[in-house]
Structure 1
Amino acid sequence: MSEREQGVVRRRVFYIPGYDPFHPRRYRELYRKESAAQAQISGYEIGLKPKQGKGPYGWHVSADIDGAHVESEIEVLYWADMVKSSMNMGIASTYKVLAQTAWIYIGSGALWRLMKLRKGPVIAALYPVGFLLVQALLAWLAAYVIAQGVQAFLSGWVGVLLGWLLGGVAAYGILDFFRRKDNKFFAYYLMHDYAYSARTRGANPPELEARMQEFVQRIAEALRSDVDEVLVIGHSSGAHIGVSVLADLLRQRAEQEAGPELSFLTLGQVVPMVSFLPEAWRLRADLAYMAQQEQVFWVDVTAPGDGCAFALCDPVSVSGVATEAKLHPLVFSAAFTQSLSQERWAELRWRFFRLHFQYLCAFDAPKDYDYFQITAGPMTLARRYKGRAASKSRIEKPVNRFVSTAP
């Protein structure tokens, strides 16, 4: 296949993670492992090398797919330091943000409207609230039982004081045990995730806005380089960050400015968790803008099997900012139940957090979604999905109470 026929010979990829405190090397190793598995299944060759050129976190991919050789540079747009900082809370602070977050989602009516879309991500949002309250209940019961036991042996104020002192120590021990084991329960992690946007009622924290402008500059620099496609990928919470980053980039960029083709892929998005909040004016305005612009082809891929995402919910339409001029995104399903073998699906179906990352992994029987062909193959995103119909079961009904795009 000639360079002219294949469309992409060189590509830059920018991956925006969700609310994830881990170092980008985790994504590099995931890509290495899963790309090798997909290549073996699908019959192509793909390999990783150390990152070339500027930029702190990433890797280089060489692939031979469908008779074409493609070189792709993948960079992780880093904001894990902010995630770590936002998670740096003690037990008491976590219960404080639990109350604040619950109040914002319930008091604003956002929670009830989110439930009209998909139950899965709402249950995922309620899980940390429920489990943290269970932990608190167990701690209180332990404290109560110990206090009563001590008072049965020691009467008077000495028994009361000593009993509740020992009970308090036991209660703290129980709460601290669950906090230290949160890598198995994910209650603290998820609570901090939902609290991150809720604490500003949907507005971006100033430190995130500053980092997003750095992302804009990184992508703008790539658009001045000698590549054929610049592909921006937003996963989970990274999807709504990507929407705003690209909206800012396009507003700053001349419409007909020459350069590589710019593409946008959102995976496992949870946009409504933010866009349904009262002060998410910035995000709603950016969603409306990205839906109407003609410079970037935007594809949104989710799957009903992913209980942590708003599967097949058009993020623009359900947020209530779609107009007759809407062009994007193309919404379709990764169809986990069809593109994974029965054995693999049975193994993964109850591993909810692992399924939320399946978009970045190999499929036993891939349909027209293949993460590695998209990021390392010879076609641009627009060419790959040209004429592809949106999923018929997508949800487009606007249910958001807050639809304003400015204060």
Structure 2
Amino acid sequence: MAEQSQDVRRRRVFYIPGYDPIHPRRYRELYRKEGAAQAGISGYEIALKPKTTKGPYGWHVDARIGGAEVQADVEVLVWSDIVRQSMSTSIPATYWQLVRTAWEYIGTGAMRRLMMLRKGPVIAALYPIGMLLFQLLVAVLLGWAGFAVVGVLGPWLGLVATALGLGVWAGIVVVVLRWFQARDGKLFAYYLMHDYAYSARYRGANPPELEARMAEFAETIAAALRDDVDEVLVVGHSSGAHLAVSILADLIRAGRVPANGPALAFLSLGQVVPMVSFLRRADRLRADLRYLSAREELTWVDVTAPGDGCAFALCDPVAVSGVAPENKKWPLVFSAQFTKSLSPERWAELRWRFFRLHFQYLCAFDRPLDYDYFQITAGPVTLGARYAGRPPSASRIDVPASKFTSVAA
């Protein structure tokens, strides 16, 4: 690998996951496995060690890239406990969530406007509604069949047979719905329903428990900005991207980004910001998008890919939300170009694995172009320097599309 200039020797990385109930060790193992694969492909060295400092769950990285040695401490800002708590609902409660969420997105016209941007994530949003209704239909039809069988006894048992039949019907419905729920690890209907319902419940506002956790994250990042490092990099993936927007906006507003401190960088990956910013009470998020997009204190790069059907690929989250100021500077929007940075063989393997592709930004590419997650998080160049002068993707979408554009006072 060619020699690189070096403006980073030590880096702090904070990864904010999306709506994910899994323990953060999953991300460590993903980084370890995929980092080794990318290092082998691209000709550099990267090694993980256990974290030795206090604070959030994480790991230490030693890398040698382009002749430069870099140390990075990667930490996961965990909110999976909040996710798990929001998912611990009964089957009837989930169907009530379906009604509320469908009304919030469809009844307000938000879904139609989101469809104008990208069909993929909207289909992903409609999928749990359709799948849960299908499951309910199957359960009801099987229950009706059981009722009909019991009804054969009607001439002999009269009203007793009817009561027994209704009981059998209800019992079958419960058993079938529980059977489907137990297999949601493959169907993802309940998981996705809980995901969209979490934002829709407060119509785009952050629930109190999430605001409290975001304040804790801000404290952690603020402490890192006072550390002896060259760059503090915040990575927001999927739903974690809009959390990062608000956290960073709060830090800058509060004057907690030192003028002579480490470079502050924000990398949003596979973002689904419009799913929240298009809701009627997302004033806080829209205000934070507007504010952050014009700040000089950070570099903000937004990477998506049309091959990721779960993300709003190449949609400028500030512009499409209708809150872009005249002095807008960020984000730099470009594509990870899955179809070019993955070989045809590898693309064929992953093409229909939608959830796996949503995590490809954190993985190795066997034909890498200018996006490399491991060089960004463990390489010798800041995010700002790496993409200085890089033009945004020509096919980006930056047309205002949201019906709701109010911002927090």
What is the TM-score with the length of structure 1 in the denominator?
0.98
- Aligned counterpart, 2:67: 67
Does residue 244 of structure 1 match 2:228? Answer: no
Partner of 2:228: 226
Give 2:381's aligned residue.
379
1:57-105 Cα distance to aligned partner (Å, 9 max, x none): 0000000000000000000001000000000011000000000000111
Alpha-carbon distance in 1 for matches of 2:137, 2:88: 23
Q: Deviations over 1:371-394 (max 9, x none)?
A: 000000000000000100100000
Q: What is the rounded CA distance, in whole Å, between the counterparts of 2:74 and 2:321 in structure 1?
A: 31
From the superposition, tell whether residues 399 and 309 of structure 1 become closer, same or farther in structure 2 (CA, over 3 Å).
same
Structure 1 stretch displaced more, 175-184 or 152-161: 152-161
| Correspondence for 2:142 | 142
Query: 2:266 maps to which residue?
Result: 264
Matches within 5 A, 1:6-405: 6-155=6-155, 156-253=158-255, 257-405=259-407
Q: Write the letter of the residue equivalent to 1:60.
A: H
Q: CA deviation at 1:347?
A: 0.6
Distance in 2, Cα, partners of 1:310 & 1:200: 22
Structure 2 unmatched ranges of 5 or more:
none
- Contact 1:52–1:73, Cα closer than 8 Å, also in 2: no
Q: Which whole-Å CA distance do the structure 2 matches of 1:351 and 1:161 have between them?
A: 46
CA contact (8 A) 2:222 2:256 kept: no
The one-letter amino acid paired with 1:166 is: V
Letter of the 1:63 partner, please give it. A
Q: One-letter code of the match for 1:198?
A: A
Other structure's SS at 1:225 match: coil
Q: 1:254 deviation in Å?
A: 5.6
Please state whether the residue corresponding to 1:6 is helix, strand or coil.
coil
Where does structure 1 lack aligned partners over 5 or more consecutive residues? none
Deviations 1:327-368 (A, max 9, x none): 000000000000001011001000000000000000010100
Report the residue type matching 2:324 in the other structure: A
CA contact (8 A) 1:285 1:406 kept: yes
Q: Point out the more displaced range, 145-154 or 14-23.
A: 145-154
CA deviation digits over 1:5-50, x for unaligned, max 9? 5000000000000000001000000000000000000000000000
Deviation at 1:255, TM superposition (A): 6.4
One-letter amino acid of the counterpart of residue 119, structure 1: K
Deviations 1:212-263 (A, max 9, x none): 0000000000000000000000000000000000000111126663210000
Distance change (3 Å), C-alpha of 1:255 and 1:346: closer
Q: CA deviation at 1:406?
A: 2.6
Whether contact under 8 Å (2:226, 2:258) holds in the other structure is: no
- Please tell me the residue identity of whatever aligns with 2:45: E
Q: Displaced runs of 4+ in structure 1, greater than 4 A?
A: none
TM-score relative to the length of structure 2: 0.98
- Structure 2: distance between partners of 1:255 and 1:47: 30
> CA shift at 1:154, angstroms?
2.9
- C-alpha distance in 2, partners of 1:158/1:342? 64
Deviation at 1:402, TM superposition (A): 0.4
CA distance in 2, matches of 1:312, 1:238: 17
Q: Match of 1:9, as an amino acid?
A: R
Q: Partners of 1:192 and 1:376 in 2: how far apart?
A: 34
SS of 2:356's partner is: helix
TM superposition shift of 1:166: 1.2
* Counterpart amino acid of residue 80 in structure 1: S
Structure 2 residue identity aligned to 1:343? E
SS at match of 1:15: strand
How far, CA to CA, are the matches of 1:19 and 1:283 in structure 2? 17
* Residues 182, 188 of structure 1: 8 Å contact kept: yes
1:132–1:255 CA distance, 2 compared to 1 (3 A): closer
The answer to whether the Cα contact below 8 Å between 2:5 and 2:381 also exists between their aligned partners in 1 is no
Amino acid at match of 2:376: I
SS at match of 2:347: helix
1:48–1:60 CA contact under 8 A, matched in 2: yes
Rounded Cα–Cα distance in structure 2 between residues aligned with 1:52 and 1:255: 25
CA apart distance, 1:52: 2.3
Q: Which deviations, in whole Å up to 9, do the C-alpha atoms of 1:285-317 show, x marking residues without a partner?
A: 000001011110000000000000000000000
Distance in 1 separating the partners of 2:345 and 2:71 = 34
CA distance in 2, matches of 1:52, 1:66: 26
Where 1:274 maps in the other structure, the secondary structure is helix
For these two proteins, the number of residue pairs brought into alignment is: 406
Q: Which amino acid aligns with 2:133?
A: L
SS in 2 for 1:105: helix
User: C-alpha distance in 1, partners of 2:60/2:387?
Assistant: 24
